[in-house]
Chain A
Amino acid sequence: MFRYFSELWTGVWSLAVGMGITFVEFFKPKITLHYPHESLKMSARYRGHIQLIGDEEGKPLCVVCGMCEKACPSNCISISGEKPEGSKKKVLTSYQLDFTKCSLCGSCVDSCNFKAVEFSKEYNLASTRKEDYHFDLLKRLEERKQ
């Protein structure tokens, strides 16, 4: 008989404690972000899609060694270059990234010995066509330079 009432009492008390906690939470400030009215600034190491790094003149540092293309697990990168007359180094002519297959693993950034690619901070890409995600990174570098 006593156990009946003591269980009843502990039960009711636990409910009251729970209600007290949510009552206090009612008055605390909101923790959600009002996207799209407010938006976040990404951290420094955030992994958006990769982008080429340019030197002072805006030319890509890439020497078309092809390590990123070989390192990529998903075959996203296709890169081509040509050797202009009288120069030992290759010049980048096109760098295509198929972002629909990219898993943001970072193998390309890791494998580059010339620090030619880095992660961008793009996070709110949205489109209705798949072709919009086949990035031409050379064109993007030129657009960024402007």
Chain B
Amino acid sequence: MTLTFLNVFAAVLIAIAFVAANAAYLVWCERKGAGFIQRRPGPTENGPWGLLQPPVDGIKLMTKQLLIPGGVDKIIFMVAPVLAMFPTLISFVTIPFSETIVAHNMNIGVLMIFVFGSMSAMALLMGGWSSRNKYAMISSVRAVSQAVAYEIPMLVTTITVVMIAGSLDLMEIVHKQSGGFWHWNIWPLQNGLYNILMPVSFLIFFICSLAETNRAPFDLGEAESELVAGFHTEYSSMGFGLFFMGEYANIVIGACLTTILFLGGWDCPLGLFPGVWWFLLKIYALIFTFIWIRWTFPRTTIYNLLNLSWKVLIPISLFNLLLTAGLLKVF
């Protein structure tokens, strides 16, 4: 963790390469997972087990004509996909993969990630607004109200965890949970704090990260088989590719954050050999759960979605926050 420019630059590059490889191969995982759940094989033709499918898809996307419809607001149209992808890449810089593997640890790590995460809502709005299309605008308006409504419970549960750990630094939060799975933040008792609602908190955070990344069952913005294709209807070639990869990068960030805040980061469940492999195992288990949920449930409507957030998740998470604060004060 020396501060020479070259080291930081190399670390940032590696983080970006990790997330880009993930974004590409998560598509493969999703298609295979979807296939197995539906009792069919998924991609098998390109390469063994279809592993060459993402590069082939990438080549296809890049060789398509980059079509900018007439009458769109050109600057906003072209900036929107970039804004969907790059803040996520940058927020990877602060995530600690293990004790020693982190690009650049900051003592306000949690805040950094949320700052960059909320920029994706802007990208949705810009993408839908600039395409001169009624469907795109309807869906981007819905997507923005969804993003705003679900950021609130996410932040409230994060504040709960930050209160328990006592710092915004991601490495500190993980250090407080080290030593086996009974110390993790998901269980009711850690560090002498008997808060029975912590698993509920974990569930709320998980649901919010599903909603923030526009994943089913909250994917009103994009997979609308009702209204064509949502806010990225007018995008072709790499514009669409960037939105797509941005969504998968957001999924990885969501899984990383959930692991660090609630599941102990790189900690081994039995406290024996902590390391980066446990971190990767946990995030991939969470990503598998994201995929599993997507292919099981139908979509909610916008009213049910907003009702769920404002009438169920926010009251419960606020109650949990007060309970944790009270318990911290008392014990």
Contact = CB atoms under 8 A, between A and B. Distances in A.
A and B interact physically: yes
A90 B36 CA distance: 60
16 contacts: A18-B297, A19-B293, A19-B296, A22-B292, A22-B295, A22-B296, A25-B37, A25-B38, A26-B37, A28-B39, A29-B39, A30-B40, A30-B41, A32-B39, A34-B41, A34-B44
A114 interface: no
Contacts of B293: 19
A27 B36 CA distance: 7
Contacts of B38: 25
Interface residues of A, number: 16
Nearest to B315: A4
Interface string A61-94: 0000000000000000000000000000000000
Contact of A18 (B39, B41, B296, B312): B296
A126 interface: no
Interface of A: 8, 15, 18-19, 21-23, 25-32, 34
Contacts of A18: 296-297
B292 A31 contact: no
B7 to A, nearest CB: 43
B40 A31 contact: yes
A136 B39 CA distance: 42
Nearest to B298: A18
Residues of B in contact with A, size category: 10 to 19
Contacts of B39: 25, 28-32
Interface of B: 33, 36-41, 44, 292-293, 295-297, 312
Nearest to B33: A26
Contacts of A31: 39-40
A101 to B, nearest CB: 35
Contacts of A30: 39-41
Contacts of B312: 8
A100 to B, nearest CB: 31
A19 B292 CA distance: 7
A66 to B, nearest CB: 49
Contact of A26 (B36, B41, B44, B297): B36
Contacts of A21: 296
A29 B292 CA distance: 17
A22 B39 CA distance: 10
Contacts of A8: 312
A32 B37 contact: no
A13 to B, nearest CB: 13
Contacts of A29: 39
Contacts of A15: 297
A26 B293 CA distance: 12
Give the 3 A-B CB pairs with smallest separation, nearest first: A32-B40, A22-B296, A31-B39
A28 B35 CA distance: 11
Given A21-B296, A22-B295, A26-B36, 18 more contacts: A8-B312, A18-B296, A18-B297, A22-B37, A22-B296, A23-B292, A25-B37, A25-B38, A25-B39, A26-B33, A26-B292, A28-B39, A30-B39, A30-B40, A30-B41, A31-B40, A32-B39, A34-B44
Contacts of B40: 30-32
Contacts of B296: 18-19, 21-22
B297 A32 contact: no
Nearest to B312: A8
Nearest to A23: B292
A30 B41 CA distance: 7
